[in-house]
Amino acid sequence: MGTRRTGLGRGLDALIPHVDEEPPADFALVSVGSIVPNPQQPRSSFDPERLAALAASIREVGILQPLVVRPAEDGTYMLVAGERRLRAARDVGLDEVPVVIRTVDGDEVSLTSALIENLQREDLRPLEEAAAYKQLLEDFGLTHQEIGDKVAKSRSAVSNSLRLLTLPAAIQGMVERGELSAGHARALVGLEDQAYAEHIGQRAAAEGWSVRQVEDAVRNRSENPPRNTPSEKPLRPVAIIELEQRLGERLGTPVAIKHGSASRGKIMISYSSVADLERIYRVFYE
């Protein structure tokens, strides 16, 4: 089988062992309604403008590159790669789409294929990429090195991406909204004082700090820690922090809990677009 180099230096075939020894994948036209979105899809939202542009292109010339699917148990097809094309095809009103049917098994291949396609076509947002790596790590037991091998990235790049998920929800929200870059956020990972990390993140976003300026602020804090005084803000309860993390994982977006006195407080849920807000709404009501 001929191979074509991609931006990552390897294609989907690199993830499927002994592909030359298996029967060739089947090409077919299948009903849009028979394709089920991949529940392991790492991308949780799509840029509406880019999706509209893709829909316009499909309306004009059709789908030039087939979607990749695999047979499901109930006669439908599970999407492996091509969710943007599937969504755009539905927006245009197509009844059928071209697909390549692969008979590979296993969610690991499906998820990794979907992740690689997203990285090749449209960069995942930093936190989406980190969440996808975390899923491979926890659901499939892969090491950082094994994940890096599958997506053609170094082990350290995967590790640095995963560290973003340890940041306070407020910092993750700034990254999600594009107020801070992944580089700014990674510079804050080593700070144990979450309140100070949020303070630095807010200043960096408001004043347009470079990554180096954030690193300098973190280094200065480490070298000159504040003295403990009775007036210092009390540490946040571990249970609240853990609840933030669980809610964030369930909703697929940063969540911040402000717990006040008398068992009252606020829950703040971040969203990056109207489409993302609708997705969160469906999590609550479906």
Distance CA 197, CA 167 (A): 9
CA quadruple 96, 97, 102, 106: dihedral sign: negative
Of the residues 21, 22, 83, 223, which is catalytic? 83
Distance CA 130, CA 118 (A): 13
Q: Active-site residue 215, yes or no?
A: no
**How many CA atoms lie less than 13 Å away from 86 in the CB half-sphere?**
23
Phi, psi (rounded to 5 degrees) for 150 = -75, -30
Name 255's bridge partners: 269
Q: Which of 213, 124, 250 is nearest to 175 (CA)?
A: 124
Distance CA 273, CA 219 (A): 35
Q: What is the set of active-site residues?
A: 83
